[in-house]
Structure 1
């Protein structure tokens, strides 16, 4: 039994170290998640052994709760005006983009890693989603146009859902040898599960806005931060209860709370201190979530190639980063004539392809049915995309001429 004294001392030291690392990240102009990942490696089994990689039931809890608060904070900072204007581009990336990415990754897995077509297809589906918990902190740390940032964050939130649905559909077909008709039927049913996530986040978001900022019913304005925390938990649980994505629900919740005047909810004129308080609280919880998530992921890092040739694994990851993502962006986005993105904007989007928690979760769900080679490819692709993406983007931003940002820093909200 850990004493209260030891628990407080450990938490205090851990937070101080996290703050120092965050400050170092600012000085070196690098995403802080890279430093937190390194902290996890240092105190995990591969380092000092202070943190066990066997987190039992706590690891998925930490990852799920942390991801929820990061996505909620990202939603608060997303402009609804941007989503409305670029809905076609976002829809393409979240649907056809996921399928195209999975298909190209399957080819890489087949011809570079020599996996079977079935395992290659499942690997492609597992890696098809962009990880919001990785890209949100990275994008927040860079001086990029808010429109580009909002689209990438929204894509990440949506592809977590569509990528998971694609994975389950492919698994039914590739591993269970079901008929094509059954596969298509299951896929269509799964796509319909996006709706409960949107509704859960939207309804609780609207209710929260009314209780915080309505002209007559703002009874809980002074308790706005508590309302926000309760709404995050409520929207996640409500969505999961309908077997939909809790992550999508909390992101939609954040978008509604972050854009209260975008909806006809009877919001009062003038400043909205309740919404401002939610923003402040969300920033703190998102920071703590980043520290927890990436320290845990760092502690879980296992330095082995899982039976794969290290050189072929590096070649696969390079192809995933430098071929699959650019092909997806440059084939889909320019087809939307009203996208308005410059060539440099598209290059930056093509360089944003971090994957993480959702891919790791999906791989663990099929652990007993996949070879060690697939698990190795998933694990090292997660590490590779976060390290390369986080390290390259700051230098890329300096060399690209990104579009002027025409969206207000804080959208139509407070």
Structure 2
């Protein structure tokens, strides 16, 4: 009896997912034993399972299934991060978040582009594209790290919020530079700022509407007829918020993050969920976020192209070191200086300098540039993956140690 090609493909995909989940679970256990953020171990697991070594996973970066996992997984992780934030803390540090998620991206991009131009000898427009594509931080990496390590609230929530809000800035900057590179437009500071405000505002508005509607149906005294379906509502609302924002050319990640903030602070808006249902939803969200980051980073590791990276590894490593030790510290200190209300200490600023992991968002932008055959796309993709490997494997794994040394862990936490 012949087996249809579609059934064979389905079985192969099921097998692949089984391998990812099994190996990722083992990686999670190892990460817990070693007391390091699990995203770093998941990335290494993916490299081992990928075509470059064991060849047990081979899902192309441009495949539909990969894009679904990246988009939905990042959205759900971001929703989980938003739900853990508290409005009282955000009110204290919103100035820093606003500056570092906008001006900070421009500073990082400018320094990275200058270094790429001088060190790698890239054409200025290609160097600018590289700087723009790698300038934004990554919520899929940072949110899990700060959910696992008990960092003081205002630091953790500032960094997580930055990672959520700066994706719009990074994307707009990347596609503005790309239009210049392809000769399809002229740079307009006013136009770029208007587009940024539009994307941010619409994203926050849509996320707020979806969040309020979900809170109403889950926790209102009279209208909470979906209270026992909290887990299902989160799945629908995360997808709905992202797609609605994307449909109106707004920031989908910002919409999802705002939705999470509304759900996480629903009591502040007069909504109170039954304790048993709230606990059930909380456990579901935590487990789903774990599965999503496992899938994302194992897949990301399996797609590392060492042949491509080998061409540019020497210059790429130097560039990423500048990225980590020059661009990020300068960005943090410049962007936190105007926020007198927050009163950031030197140690807090120093810790934020080390929270600059590169991950899914820059990888997605680099992939789009390759797909569009942008100038220097191969070099950009190579350096982006070098940045992902170095920042996650070096910075993520040393974050707990540095947090303890700088005294930014919660006071009552015991290792």
State the TM-score, normalized to the length of structure 2.
Answer: 0.90
Partner of 2:386: 380
- 5+ residue gaps in structure 2? 1-6
| 1:369 maps onto 2:371 in alignment | no
* Post-superposition CA distance 1:308-355 (Å, at most 9, x none): 553322111101011100000011213211113221111110001111
C-alpha distance in structure 2 between counterparts of 1:32 and 1:186, whole Å: 37
1:73–1:279 contact (8 Å) kept in structure 2? no
After superposition, the Cα gap between the structure-2 partners of 1:49 and 1:230, relative to the gap in structure 1 and judged at 3 Å, is: same
Contact 2:140-2:293 within 8 A present in 1 as well: yes
* Distance in 2 of aligned mates of 1:339 and 1:141: 24
Where does structure 1 lack aligned partners over 5 or more consecutive residues? 407-414
Counterpart-to-counterpart distance in 1, 2:207 and 2:74: 15
Does residue 304 of structure 1 match 2:307?
Answer: yes
- CA offset at residue 237 of structure 1? 1.2
Contact 2:313 2:386 survives alignment (8 Å): no
* 1:195 partnered with 2:201: yes
Aligned pairs for 1:142-181 (under 5 A) are 142-176=149-183, 178-181=185-188
Residues 37 and 148, structure 2, Cα contact 8 Å, conserved in 1: yes
2:271: which partner in 1? 267
Contact 1:257 1:275 (C-alpha < 8 Å) held by counterparts: no
* Cα distance in structure 2, aligned partners of 1:357 and 1:89: 24
Flag the 1:127–1:9 CA change in 2: closer, same or farther, 3 A: closer
Quick check: 1:285 aligned with 2:292? no
Shift of 1:41: 1.1
Query: Within 5 A, what are the aligned runs for 1:10-409?
Result: 11=17, 14-54=20-60, 56-176=63-183, 178-181=185-188, 184-263=190-269, 266-268=270-272, 272-304=275-307, 306=309, 308-367=311-370, 368-371=373-376, 372-402=378-408
Q: What is the Cα deviation at residue 4 of structure 1? A: 8.5
1:244–1:337 CA distance, 2 compared to 1 (3 A) = same
Count residues with an aligned counterpart.
Answer: 402
**Alpha carbons of 1:306 and 1:24: their partners in 2 closer, same or farther (altered >3 Å)?**
closer
User: Aligned-pair distance for 1:267?
Assistant: 2.4
What is the root-mean-square deviation of aligned Cα atoms in Å? 2.3
- Whether the aligned pair in 2 keeps the contact of 1:143 and 1:397 (CA below 8 Å) is no
CA 1:14–1:298 in 2, change beyond 3 Å: closer, same or farther? closer
2:48 touches 2:54 (CA, 8 Å); kept in 1?
A: yes
Contact 1:30 1:141 in 2 (8 A): no
Shift of the 405–156 alpha-carbon distance from structure 1 to 2, 3 Å rule, reads farther
Structure 1 residues 222 and 396: CA distance shift in structure 2, 3 A: same
CA distance in 1, matches of 2:16, 2:386: 30
Structure 1 residue aligned with 2:3: none
CA–CA distance in structure 2, aligned partners of residues 347 and 237 of structure 1: 37
